[in-house]
């Protein structure tokens, strides 16, 4: 309940404290979330942990205390690396999901799951939740349904019609 309404700053605080408490070599995050859709959590988390960040990777490997990866842009790819420990974020192109075997699922059921409270992490309730949020959602509304566009059959006047449409929409 204390975390209800937490924004990316509060989420990063809780994760950083929990990660520091449990220990880590690499923290792997996705490229977006379904709450604030900000996409900045990995960068803020790396800053809080004081470690390098390598973001939006489509390929990742770890060798000899170094994380290496490829970030694909619109026109080029970058090869990046950082020493461990580090925070890495991956894109949806980073690999195929690997599903556990039945034996693995049964073994996982027997593994202990540690649950941490804010007190365990030395976090005051007013640092997270709605009280500690740096951002707020003023309103949310469903998007209107998309309508079909206008189809123009070019019978010699298509260019003119396109120019008129672009001008009417103030694109030109």
Each residue's pLDDT tens digit, 3-24: 888 899 999 999 999 999 999 9
Q: Are 80 and 62 in contact (CB under 8 A)?
A: no
Confidence check: pLDDT of 150 > 90:
no
Confidence check: pLDDT of 35 > 80:
no
Q: Are 90 and 30 in contact (CB under 8 A)?
A: yes
Q: What is the pLDDT of residue 71?
A: 95
Q: What is the pLDDT of residue 135?
A: 86
Q: What is the pLDDT of residue 37?
A: 73
CATH fold label, 8-132: Rossmann fold (3.40.50)
- First vs last Cα of the chain: how many Å apart? 52
Say what the pTM is.
0.75
Each residue's pLDDT tens digit, 78-137: 999 999 999 999 988 887 878 999 999 999 999 999 899 999 999 999 999 988 998 888
Q: Are 46 and 87 in contact (CB under 8 A)?
A: yes
More confident residue, 155 or 47: 47
Total count of residues recorded for the chain: 172
- DSSP-derived secondary structure for 66-85: EEEEEEE-SS-EEEEEEESS
For tokens 């019978």, name the residue: 155
- 69 pLDDT tier (thresholds 50, 70, 90): very high
Mean pLDDT computed over 22-51: 88
């Amino acid at each position: 309940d204390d975390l209800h309404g937490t924004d990316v700053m509060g989420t990063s605080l809780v994760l950083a404290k929990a990660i520091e408490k449990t220990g880590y070599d690499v923290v792997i995050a996705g490229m977006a979330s379904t709450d604030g859709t900000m996409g900045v959590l990995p960068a803020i988390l790396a800053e809080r942990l004081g470690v390098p960040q390598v973001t939006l990777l489509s390929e990742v490997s770890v060798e000899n205390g170094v994380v290496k990866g490829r970030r694909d842009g619109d026109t080029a790819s970058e090869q990046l690396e950082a020493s461990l420990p580090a925070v890495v974020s991956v894109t949806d192109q980073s690999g195929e999901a690997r599903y556990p075997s039945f034996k693995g699922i049964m073994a996982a059921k027997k593994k202990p799951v540690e649950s941490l409270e804010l007190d365990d992490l030395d976090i005051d309730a007013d640092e997270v939740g709605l009280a500690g949020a740096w951002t707020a959602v003023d309103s949310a509304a469903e998007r209107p349904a998309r309508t079909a566009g206008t189809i123009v059959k070019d019978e010699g006047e298509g260019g003119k019609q396109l120019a008129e449409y672009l001008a009417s929409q103030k694109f030109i």
